[in-house]
Homo-oligomer: A and B are copies of this chain.
Amino acid sequence: MGLLGAIEAGGTKFVVAVADENYNVVERTAFPTLDGEKTLDQVIAFFDKFENIDAIGIAAFGPIDIVKGSQTYGYVLDTPKRGWSGYDFLGRMKAWRDIPFFWTTDVNGAGWAEFETGAAKDVQNMVYLTVGTGIGAGIVSNGHLLSGYGHPEAGHIFLQKHPEDKYAGHCPFHGDNCLEGLAAGPAIEERWGISAKEIPDEDIAWKIEAYYIAQAALDYTMILRPEKIILGGGVPHRDILFPLIRESFSEQMSDYLEVPDLDDYIVPVANGDNAGILGCFYLAKTLV
């Protein structure tokens, strides 16, 4: 077998890597995200050095078109990010070299790593939720990445507001109606006027944050009945959130539904910040 390739295509930085069939990294590099064309120039310059790549997994910031058969399959869709709207990301890669590519979202990439060898390695149904600059989810149902008319946008479900929260919300589409508008990193920072990292553990900020994440977890539970809900991204680096989320989940659920023991149900990522690249390798491997 030849090598596997990985492209973790983030809105602020790209990470590219190649590994052998046992996922030992041969080379890896990162660079800031420019516009589509210029960024892909760098991606291709990196992979050009390797003759024997069998497949590449691409986990890209969205929204992207992942619907096979769609006219714009492989494109980046409407995005405020300059030089990316309507960019044919996958087309450019295919024009470069005719090998199999696994094309999916950044959260599906990291989520798949959790599913294969991370916190969800023993289950077939999971939600990987990342809470950072934005909020998004990668969902595995019955062992497969869930998608339909497009990929999930599970950060934009509507939530009830916490009774003590007066913040106007920061989602440009839904204000304070949706999870991302209320609970992403920038919402925390705008609401309290200080960096999320600097808010002390005892602050009510984390109770409110936990309430929103718990309510979202409740909705995912009702609809998807996952066996694990895994929290990634910068905000869940705050360990205190986990007990607070579990407590709030249990209160809001009010004994309606049987779920796994909460300490095993709502859990942090196991692959850490390596999940994105690892997921790309695993997804590439499914193609060879």
Q: Which residues of A contact B (CB under 8 A)?
A: 77, 124-125, 137, 139, 141-142, 144, 146-161, 173-174, 177, 215, 218-220, 222-227, 252, 254-260
Besides the known contacts A141-B148, A223-B224, 11 further A-B residue pairs in the complex with CB atoms under 8 A apart? A125-B149, A137-B223, A141-B146, A142-B146, A148-B225, A148-B227, A149-B227, A151-B225, A153-B257, A160-B160, A220-B223
Complex alpha-carbon distance, A218 and B179, angstroms: 13
A260: chain B residues within 8 A (beta carbon): 149
A215: chain B residues within 8 A (beta carbon): 158
A224: chain B residues within 8 A (beta carbon): 146, 148, 152, 223
Partner of A222, one of B124, B147, B156, B160: B156
Most chain B beta carbons < 10 A, residue from A137, A174, A177, A225: A225
Most chain B beta carbons < 10 A, residue from A77, A173, A255: A173
Contact yes or no, B150 A225, CB < 8 A? yes
Q: How far is the CB of A261 from chain B (nearest CB, A)?
A: 12
Whether A177 contacts B252 in the complex (CB less than 8 A), given A141-B146, A150-B258, A160-B158, comes out as yes
Most chain B beta carbons < 10 A, residue from A149, A158, A219, A259: A149
Complex alpha-carbon distance, A147 and B125, angstroms: 8
Contact yes or no, B226 A158, CB < 8 A? no
Contact yes or no, B256 A173, CB < 8 A? yes
A220: chain B residues within 8 A (beta carbon): 223
Q: How far is the CB of A159 from chain B (nearest CB, A)?
A: 7
Q: How far is the CB of A145 from chain B (nearest CB, A)?
A: 9
A147: chain B residues within 8 A (beta carbon): 142, 225
A254 nearest in chain B by CB position: B173
- Which 3 residue pairs across A and B have the least CB separation, nearest first? A125-B148, A148-B225, A173-B256
A161: chain B residues within 8 A (beta carbon): 160
Partner of A160, one of B137, B155, B177, B255: B177
A173: chain B residues within 8 A (beta carbon): 254-256
Q: How far is the CB of A175 from chain B (nearest CB, A)?
A: 9
Contact yes or no, B222 A149, CB < 8 A? no
Contact yes or no, B225 A174, CB < 8 A? no
Whether A156 contacts B256 in the complex (CB less than 8 A), given A141-B146, A151-B225, A225-B151, comes out as yes
A159: chain B residues within 8 A (beta carbon): 158, 160
Contact yes or no, B149 A226, CB < 8 A? yes
Q: How far is the CB of A71 from chain B (nearest CB, A)?
A: 13
A171 nearest in chain B by CB position: B256
Partner of A223, one of B77, B152, B252: B152
Contact yes or no, A219 B225, CB < 8 A? no
Whether A254 contacts B160 in the complex (CB less than 8 A), given A141-B148, A147-B225, comes out as no
